[in-house]
Amino acid sequence: GAGTYILQEESGLLNFAHETVETSIDLKNELDIKTYLLGNEFVAKSEKQGAVAENEDGAYIHFVRVIEKGKVQVGYSLKTIEEGSETWEGRIDDGAIVVKPFRDNLVKVSILDHVYYINSFGQLFEKENENDLGFSKTWNLKKFEE
């Protein structure tokens, strides 16, 4: 399952070139999706004019799920870097990660009041509002640097 893969990845047992690592998520498997979301960090690079691909500018998010006083709580931690300065925001609250089918190649994931769409390649997308046809933000899996 995805859980084993993540452990191997972090322990460095899988030491092949990053280019060959293709993320593939079974969108019909809710556990796979949740394991993937909770086990990784995602990055949305700055779209600003003149933003350099190599620099750190962008937003970084990871999702959390904890048991607090017998209740399941979920949330996120978001770090934004702009021209070298960091800001943090985050939230954790009673709730669950809710996964629903959306379209053939996407599922809809709700975490608190945030909605993400995830494809089988492991990219997350956000919309400014529910009715928009397009997506306003794309989150990619953050690759761990060697």
Structure-token match 């191997």, residue found: 8
- 51 contact partners, CB below 8 Å, separation of at least 6: 45, 57, 58
Return the higher-pLDDT residue of 111 and 22: 111
Question: Parallel, antiparallel, or unpaired: how do β-strands 97-103 and 85-94 relate?
Answer: unpaired
SS (H, E, C) the chain: CHHHHHHHHHHCCCCCCHHHCCCCCCCCCHHHHHHHHHCCEEEEECCCCCCCCCCCCEEEEEEEEEEECCEEEEEEEEEEEECCEEEEEEEEEECCEEEEEEECCEEEEEECCEEEEEECCCCEEECCCCCCCCCCEEEEECCCCC
- The answer on pLDDT for 8 being more than 50 is no
Is residue 87 scored above 80 in pLDDT?
A: yes
pLDDT of residue 53: 56
The confidence score (pLDDT) of residue 49 equals 56
Give the tens place of pLDDT for each residue, 10-53: 444 444 444 445 789 999 999 999 999 999 999 998 766 555 55
**pLDDT given at position 124:** 96
What's the pTM? Answer: 0.77
To the nearest whole number, what is the mean pLDDT of the chain? 83
Give the Cα separation of 46 and 65 in Å (integer).
27
CB-CB contact of 15 with 113 (8 Å): no
